[in-house]
Structure 1
Amino acid sequence: MLSLLKTDGCFLKDNYDGHFTGSAWILSADKEKILMTHHKKLGMWLQLGGHADGENDLLKVALREAKEESGIQYFNILSDEIFDLDIHEIPKQMNQPSHKHYDIRFLLETDPASNKITISDESYDVAWIPIDEVIELNPENSIQRMVEKTLAIKNL
């Protein structure tokens, strides 16, 4: 991953050797729910996030994508440190080859009661999912890992 940082275009989505993406793992203020999107292209429930589009500050990317995908404009950044890192393969789609995403994930929080969700064109749905139901919607290791980290934080 460190060698990827030295390559031109590591923050651009058309770099099919792999590129960085930024994501937001968003907790409700009471830490009982996670804001997730039912992603259209991938057909699965995921954390909000996306391509850097040339931006090398991946926390900014995570915030931008969270706002665009949910319509919520205010998030509390719980830490500017990386919450999770996941390297995963994106399958071949129409005119792009399969490639790797180096997804840097940050921990955010907002209050569901004071924020109305707007669903973007990239999603079938965006919803607050009770933390004990997240793995039922997406049992992938990276999601399970973030749920476990969240439960550890919640129990502190």
Structure 2
Amino acid sequence: MHRQLLLQLLRQHQPADSNEQAMNQATISFVEQHSDCFERSLLIGHITGSAWIVSPDRQQTLLIHHRKLDRWLQPGGHADGDPDVAAVALREAQEETGLTSLRLVSSAIYDVDIHPIPARNDVPEHLHYDIRFLLEADPEEPFGKSDEIKNIQWFSMEKAKTIADSESILRLVVKK
């Protein structure tokens, strides 16, 4: 049932460019072919949920410096069997930032990305089929603590463009 809801959201999504369009189509195919697509145990890849967090005036974005990956990224993580990917994005954002003012702007998908995750310990290299949602938060609210995070910071959209080290993050910054 919920897999069908994700497929409906993916089919309704309007990608920003041909690269995102290709990733959206590949994600649709992946979800259609794998009934266990929400499970981390699917070692070829799995669905993840991420949050693109912006200030209410859309002038700032919140990024986390991920400890393991040593990069500035949007908050997000594994679905771990939860087919409500918007709820996954919201939960991961709350866990990683400690913010309580987070609000899902829309239940529509904001962005779709597929990226490789390097092999680590007994987990082989695999793909994250990342479903991203737009969230708002109060930039004045203090952050919480998370062991996964080295740093959390609000950036102007212009500054975020300069620290974006991937096409994926840059695409989020320029989306309106």
Relative to the length of structure 2, the TM-score reads 0.80
Task: Give the equivalent residue in structure 2 for 1:18.
Answer: 45
Task: Give the equivalent residue in structure 1 for 2:145.
Answer: 119
- SS of structure 1 residue aligned to 2:119: coil
- Does the 8 Å contact 1:38/1:125 carry over to 2? yes
Name the % identity: 45
Which consecutive residues of structure 1, in runs of 5 or more, have no partner in the other structure?
A: none
Q: Which has the higher helix share?
A: 2
Task: Give the equivalent residue in structure 1 for 2:16.
Answer: none
Which string of whole-angstrom CA distances, capped at 9 and with x for unpartnered residues, describes residues 15-53 of structure 1? 112100000000012211111110011110000000001
- Does the 8 Å contact 1:40/1:122 carry over to 2? yes
**Matches of 2:125 and 2:80, distance apart in 1:** 18
- Does the 8 Å contact 1:69/1:122 carry over to 2? yes
- Does the 8 Å contact 1:91/1:99 carry over to 2? yes
**Matches of 2:73 and 2:85, distance apart in 1:** 17
**Matches of 1:52 and 1:30, distance apart in 2:** 29
Q: Count residues with an aligned counterpart.
A: 149
* Alpha-carbon shift at residue 83 of structure 1 (Å): 0.4
- SS of structure 1 residue aligned to 2:95: helix
- SS of structure 2 residue aligned to 1:112: coil
Relative to the length of structure 1, the TM-score reads 0.90
The CA RMSD measured in Å over matched residues stands at 1.2
Which consecutive residues of structure 2, in runs of 5 or more, have no partner in the other structure?
A: 1-26
Q: Which has the higher strand share?
A: 1
